[in-house]
Amino acid sequence: MGRPRADDRKTLNAILYVLITGCRWNDLPKEYGNFMTAWRRLKRWMEDGTLLKIWRHLLADLDASGQIDWSKCALDGSYVRAKKGATKSASRERA
Protein backbone atom coordinates (compact mmCIF):
# COMPACT_ATOMS: atom_id res chain seq x y z
CA MET A 1 0.00 0.00 0.00
CA GLY A 2 1.05 3.61 0.33
CA ARG A 3 2.18 5.99 -2.36
CA PRO A 4 3.53 4.78 -5.69
CA ARG A 5 7.34 4.82 -5.93
CA ALA A 6 8.81 8.03 -7.34
CA ASP A 7 10.30 7.71 -10.83
CA ASP A 8 14.01 6.78 -10.66
CA ARG A 9 14.97 8.92 -13.67
CA LYS A 10 13.27 12.00 -12.26
CA THR A 11 14.84 11.36 -8.86
CA LEU A 12 18.31 10.91 -10.40
CA ASN A 13 17.85 14.21 -12.25
CA ALA A 14 16.94 15.85 -8.93
CA ILE A 15 20.07 14.46 -7.27
CA LEU A 16 22.26 15.62 -10.16
CA TYR A 17 20.66 19.08 -10.06
CA VAL A 18 21.56 19.50 -6.38
CA LEU A 19 25.07 18.10 -6.80
CA ILE A 20 25.84 20.23 -9.87
CA THR A 21 24.29 23.51 -8.73
CA GLY A 22 25.17 23.20 -5.05
CA CYS A 23 21.72 24.36 -3.99
CA ARG A 24 20.19 23.24 -0.71
CA TRP A 25 17.98 20.17 -0.88
CA ASN A 26 14.90 22.11 0.18
CA ASP A 27 15.54 24.61 -2.65
CA LEU A 28 15.13 21.89 -5.28
CA PRO A 29 12.66 23.09 -7.96
CA LYS A 30 9.25 21.41 -7.72
CA GLU A 31 9.62 19.97 -11.25
CA TYR A 32 12.07 17.43 -9.79
CA GLY A 33 9.64 16.18 -7.17
CA ASN A 34 9.97 16.13 -3.42
CA PHE A 35 13.44 17.00 -2.12
CA MET A 36 13.22 14.47 0.72
CA THR A 37 12.58 11.68 -1.76
CA ALA A 38 15.69 12.67 -3.70
CA TRP A 39 17.79 12.96 -0.54
CA ARG A 40 16.63 9.60 0.81
CA ARG A 41 17.17 7.91 -2.55
CA LEU A 42 20.72 9.33 -2.80
CA LYS A 43 21.47 8.08 0.73
CA ARG A 44 20.10 4.62 -0.04
CA TRP A 45 21.88 4.41 -3.41
CA MET A 46 25.18 5.39 -1.79
CA GLU A 47 24.77 2.78 0.92
CA ASP A 48 23.74 -0.12 -1.34
CA GLY A 49 26.26 0.59 -4.13
CA THR A 50 23.70 1.65 -6.75
CA LEU A 51 25.32 5.06 -7.21
CA LEU A 52 28.71 3.45 -7.85
CA LYS A 53 27.14 1.13 -10.44
CA ILE A 54 25.55 4.11 -12.21
CA TRP A 55 28.89 5.95 -12.19
CA ARG A 56 30.80 2.94 -13.57
CA HIS A 57 28.19 2.39 -16.29
CA LEU A 58 28.39 6.06 -17.30
CA LEU A 59 32.20 5.93 -17.46
CA ALA A 60 32.10 2.72 -19.53
CA ASP A 61 29.65 4.30 -22.01
CA LEU A 62 31.74 7.46 -22.31
CA ASP A 63 34.93 5.42 -22.74
CA ALA A 64 33.36 3.20 -25.40
CA SER A 65 32.31 6.26 -27.39
CA GLY A 66 35.75 7.89 -27.03
CA GLN A 67 34.46 10.83 -25.00
CA ILE A 68 36.97 10.47 -22.14
CA ASP A 69 40.63 11.44 -22.40
CA TRP A 70 42.14 9.22 -19.69
CA SER A 71 45.49 11.03 -19.96
CA LYS A 72 43.83 14.07 -18.38
CA CYS A 73 42.34 12.31 -15.38
CA ALA A 74 43.38 12.99 -11.80
CA LEU A 75 42.70 11.70 -8.33
CA ASP A 76 41.83 13.99 -5.48
CA GLY A 77 41.91 13.45 -1.76
CA SER A 78 40.91 15.31 1.35
CA TYR A 79 42.98 15.81 4.44
CA VAL A 80 41.56 16.56 7.83
CA ARG A 81 43.70 18.24 10.48
CA ALA A 82 43.97 16.62 13.85
CA LYS A 83 41.72 18.12 16.49
CA LYS A 84 43.32 20.49 18.98
CA GLY A 85 46.62 20.47 17.06
CA ALA A 86 47.59 16.87 17.87
CA THR A 87 50.62 15.66 15.95
CA LYS A 88 51.41 12.24 14.52
CA SER A 89 54.05 11.68 17.19
CA ALA A 90 51.53 12.45 19.94
CA SER A 91 49.12 9.85 18.64
CA ARG A 92 51.93 7.26 18.36
CA GLU A 93 52.89 7.76 22.00
CA ARG A 94 49.34 6.98 23.09
CA ALA A 95 49.27 3.77 21.05
Closest by CA to 15, choosing from 44, 52, 41, 53, is 41
Task: Give, for all 95 residues of the chain, the pLDDT tens digit.
Answer: 788 999 999 999 999 999 999 999 999 999 999 999 999 999 999 999 999 999 899 999 999 999 999 888 877 777 666 666 555 555 555 55
List of long-range contacts for 45-54, beta carbons under 8 Å, 24+ apart: 54/12
Q: Is the pTM of this model over 0.75?
A: no
**Gap between the Cα atoms of 33 and 20, Å rounded:** 17
